[in-house]
Amino acid sequence: MIVDIDLDKCTSCGLCDPICPADVIHMEQNGDKEFPVIQYPEHCVTCFNCEIFCPEQCIDVHPIVRRRPLPW
């Protein structure tokens, strides 16, 4: 699941928006620049495209780990 976008490192290149197959990230106007916003985090399929293609490495994706309960 997508966790964080470091807006201090982001250059507003916009690569993360079209590369996301689930439309999780959208660019929104903030003053004179556009910044990526995690609009639908629940739709994230953990494909890591946004993290891999971000030239500034400002997107952090963590897979959801489902632990099996112990039988005791």
Mind listing the pLDDT tens digit for each residue in 11-44? 999 999 999 999 999 999 988 889 999 999 889 9
- Report d(CA 16, CA 2) in Å as an integer: 12
Q: Is residue 28 part of a domain?
A: yes
Full residue range of the structural domain in which residue 37 is found = 2-61
Residue 66's pLDDT band (boundaries 50, 70, 90)?
confident
% of the chain residues with pLDDT over 90: 69
pTM for this predicted structure: 0.78
Question: What's 28's domain CATH number?
Answer: 3.30.70.20
Tokens 């290149």 locate to 13
Q: Is residue 20 part of a domain?
A: yes
Whether residue 9 is predicted with pLDDT greater than 80 in this model: the reply is yes
